[in-house]
Structure 1
């Protein structure tokens, strides 16, 4: 016998189906975008033949307050984003405030073939781009057939 039952009230049936799906997938995010609510900065991670490319979207952050470090295979991006109205004399009573203000820290596990000695970081237009070179042994190479 099936757990799914469709009676005459379609909305209650959809509600029951939604609860069943939620209990089935309860501990897992539904997509990569819903992985961690409120994670800052948001990142894109990619790879080329020579490097691992990480772009952290951190608008409004002073580059002098950014810290990027690699230790034991973990890339840590930390810093602080200040209040953009801090210099203003006028204070608002916000009804909704969605912009994150304050200290942040994001830790990203790197693959084993990342070379911590080949790291560059550049902050441009609110985007922190971190490029981590790959170890020579992990790069693709052509093998001649004899």
Structure 2
């Protein structure tokens, strides 16, 4: 006796996709720290005693289209990622799955008070934007000798 299944073969991946979409709808928060998980570009933010390092993972973005602004300790990263789906003149084109982000984006990161706004550098290489913000000299740790 053969049994037929009522579900597609890859039911677990569909359930995983549905769970991700539901989670993203609850994670998005319009706060000063930007969107929640699932925002584009993905960010890693860390620090050393000398600087704050921000890595934005943005493959497929033209570095000339990226705009960085630092205003009162708030760093904003914005730009646009073009769609990789070719547009045709006839209206018969359809997209079945679209998991890669395309369009305008903006991420905001609030920084600590000890940054030096004149010590910001940024470079883009292999799809990763690296922004380094130096800390003020007065905020650097230093050893004080006792006499």
Report the counterpart of residue 140 of structure 1 in structure 2: 141
For 2:53, the equivalent position in structure 1 comes to 53
Q: Deviations over 1:29-68 (max 9, x none)?
A: xxxxxx8143111111111221111000011101010001
SS in 2 for 1:75: strand
1:109-130 CA deviation, whole Å, 9 max, x = no partner? Answer: 0000111110000000000000
Query: How many Å separate the matches in 2 of 1:112 and 1:94?
Result: 46
Per the alignment, residue 5 of structure 2 pairs with none
Structure 1: give runs of 5+ residues left out of the alignment: 1-25, 28-34
- Gaps in structure 2 of 5+ consecutive residues: 1-25, 28-34
Q: Describe how 1:1-146 pairs up with structure 2 within 5 A.
A: 36-86=36-86, 92-146=93-147
How far apart, in 2, do the equivalents of 1:114 and 1:51 lie? 8
Q: What count of residue pairs does the alignment treat as equivalent?
A: 114
- Measure, in 2, the Cα distance between the counterparts of 1:64 and 1:105: 15
Residue 94 of structure 1 and its aligned partner are, at CA, apart by 2.0
In 2, Cα distance between the equivalents of 1:54 and 1:86? 32
Greater Rg by CA = 1
Shift of residue 95, structure 1, vs aligned partner:
1.7
Which portions of structure 1, spanning 4 or more consecutive aligned residues, are displaced by more than 3 angstroms? 85-92
TM-score (norm 1): 0.71
Q: 1:111 to 1:145 in 2, by over 3 A?
A: same
